[in-house]
Structure 1
Amino acid sequence: MFKKKVFIFLVLMVLFVKSTYSQCAMCKAVVENGDISIAEGVNNGITYLMVFPYLLIAVLFFAIYRYKKRAKI
């Protein structure tokens, strides 16, 4: 039951990540002085940099899962 709720929460987070915008002060200053292509580039860069920590955490959890599964056998 708990795993199902966590899975649904993660799927919803992935699906609605585009609707949650947040920018730091420096990013806001760059976007205000530029055009729409600069704003899209800043948002894409932030998303790109945000992906890698989540990938590292996913790999860590997968490694722990495999270790525990092999320890049971």
Structure 2
Amino acid sequence: MKKIFATLLILSLCFCFSFNASAQCAMCTANAEMGVKNGNTQTKGLNSGVIYLLAIPFLLVSTVGVVWYRNYRAK
């Protein structure tokens, strides 16, 4: 029980003190920088799309982990 509480505490602290990251490939970065200089607001949509594409693998891996853990604990 202490391990679960410690893990949840560490995860919650990581989420509370996380930094805003906008990860992009080189071509996306060049297009986004040109958009900012020209006053184009499409760069926010580009950043949101990148974050959306990054979130899907994390959700899939966590789902597989939860299913595996439940099946492991059931034995």
- Partners of 1:57 and 1:16 in 2: how far apart? 23
Q: Which has the higher contact order (CA 8 A, sep 6+)?
A: 2
Q: 1:26 to 1:16 in 2, by over 3 A?
A: farther
Identity of paired residues, percent?
A: 30
Unmatched runs of 5 consecutive residues or more in structure 2: none
Task: Output the TM-score relative to the length of structure 1.
Answer: 0.71
For 1:39, the equivalent position in structure 2 comes to 43
Give the alignment of 1:12-51 within 5 angstroms.
12-16=13-17, 19-34=20-35, 35-51=39-55
Q: RMSD value over aligned CA atoms?
A: 2.3
Aligned length: 71
Return 5+ residue gaps in structure 1 as ranges.
none
- How big is the shift at 1:37? 1.8
Per-residue deviation at 1:33? 1.9
Matched, 1:61 2:47: no
Q: Which has the higher helix share?
A: 1
